[in-house]
Amino acid sequence: MPNKNWFKGNLHTHTSASERGPGDTAPEHVSEWYHDHGYDFLVLSDHNHRTILDGSDTERARWPHLIPGEEISAVFNEAPVHLGGIGTRELVGPHESDTLVGTIQANIDAIEKAGGLATLNHPNFRWSYSDREIIATHGAWAMEVFNGHPGVNNMGGGASPSTESIWDRVLVSGRRMFGVATDDAHHFQGEFGPRKSNPGRGWISVAAAELSDESLLDAMSRGDFYASTGVRFAELEIRGREIVMEIDPDTDLQLKYTVVFTGPNGRELWTTTGESARFTLSRIDDYVRATVYASNGEKAWTQPVFGTD
């Protein structure tokens, strides 16, 4: 990716700007938090509400670049159906239908119509829907493979698959779907803890020409980004059917890294250790994606590379 920079951003965070809450902090201060913690861009994604900040130049300098958006929050049979509308041009609001799949699809369509990228947020929150429903829809840009809210069941449980397994099942069905990590932050006040929705837990890093809506959304729509809960890449390149990576190691904590390349059905194609790895997709495999595991539990996910490209 020549002439590109990596820009770190969070696509999912709440403020106190919308009546439904649930953020505990004003959007100006939420934005300051992200700027102070090294984020380049941010989506203030309140429920069915566009939180748009018009600040002076001095104020803007204390915020990351703000991409407009919204967490479209619909309900089907008491199950929350939440989608991120990233870069939408107008308020989308919830759309309903008489089936679960229809409800998801109606909201994807509405986001597309408003010019945004649609993310499927926290499918395991209240166990609303799974791979079967996702595969029956079309047009969503990405799903949350990690969400930092304590109630979203990223790991799955019982007979319900993890969000990562859901992603693999969607990919093996032939659907192209990217994976994002987000905060879904609500709580910026008081002590931070595992049962609170605190910021800084999940983000994406986008390789884009410049820090603008157009450039970022364009790179995101092509899959030129990775998702992370802490692991960073010094280099990450897709060269045809090959993924080449160099991890930016945390030398303070002396972390060690394991890289797992996953193919169809979540099958492990190759596992390696260390800070550099490369892998070439074989003729028979439909796709490959890589997950990096750090020894402190932090992770990063590359986007899938498809064999038919």
* C-beta neighbour count of 235 within 10 angstroms: 12
| Residue nearer to Zn ion on the CB measure, 40 or 71 | 71
Of 69 and 304, the one with the shorter C-beta distance to Zn ion is: 69
CB of 105 to Zn ion, least distance (A): 18
Least distance (Å) from Zn ion to the CB of residue 239? Answer: 36
Segment near Zn ion (CB under 5 A), from 48-56, 69-77, 105-113, 261-269? 69-77
Nearer to Zn ion, 122 or 299 (CB): 122
Q: Which is nearer to Zn ion, 12 or 232 (CB)?
A: 12
Least distance CB 49 / Zn ion (angstroms): 11
Smallest separation, CB 96 to Zn ion (Å): 16
Closer CB to Zn ion, 164 or 184, in the complex: 184
Residue 36 CB burial class (10 angstroms; 0-12, 13-18, ≥19):
exposed
> Phi and psi (nearest 5°) for 45?
-110, 70
Count the site residues for Zn ion by CB under 5 A: 4
Answer for the pair 53, 34: CB distance below 8 angstroms, yes or no: no
Give me the least distance between CB of 189 and Zn ion, in Å please: 17
Q: Does 82 bind Zn ion (CB under 5 A)?
A: yes
Please state the length of the chain.
309
Query: Which of the ranges 1-9, 51-59, 65-73, 167-175 carries the binding residues for Zn ion, by CB under 5 A?
Result: 65-73
User: What distance in Å separates the CA atoms of residue 303 and residue 286, rounded to the nearest whole number?
Assistant: 14
Which CB atom, from 123 or from 304, has the smaller least distance to Zn ion? 123
Question: How is residue 204 written in tokens?
Answer: 């994406």
Stretch that binds Zn ion, among 78-86, 132-140, 154-162, 252-260 (CB under 5 A): 78-86
Query: How many CB atoms are located within 10 Å of the residue 303 CB?
Result: 25
Is 184 a binder of Zn ion (CB under 5 A)?
yes
Least Cβ distance, residue 13 to Zn ion (angstroms): 8
Identity of the residue, 147 or 262, whose beta carbon is nearer to Zn ion in the bound complex: 147
| Cβ-proximal residue to Zn ion, closest one | 82
Q: Does 24 bind Zn ion (CB under 5 A)?
A: no
Phi and psi at residue 79, to the nearest 5°? -90, 125
What would the x/- binding string for Zn ion be over residues 117 to 136, using CB under 5 A? Answer: ----x---------------
Residue 70 interacts with Zn ion (CB under 5 A): yes or no: no
User: Binding to Zn ion by residue 168, rule CB under 5 A?
Assistant: no
Please, which residues bridge with residue 75 across strands? 80
Rank residues 111 and 294 by Cβ distance to Zn ion and give the closer one: 111
Q: Which stretch binds Zn ion (CB under 5 A): 63-71, 101-109, 246-254, 286-294?
A: 63-71
- The two tokens of residue 105 are 């699809």
Positions in the binding site for Zn ion (CB under 5 A): 71, 82, 121, 184
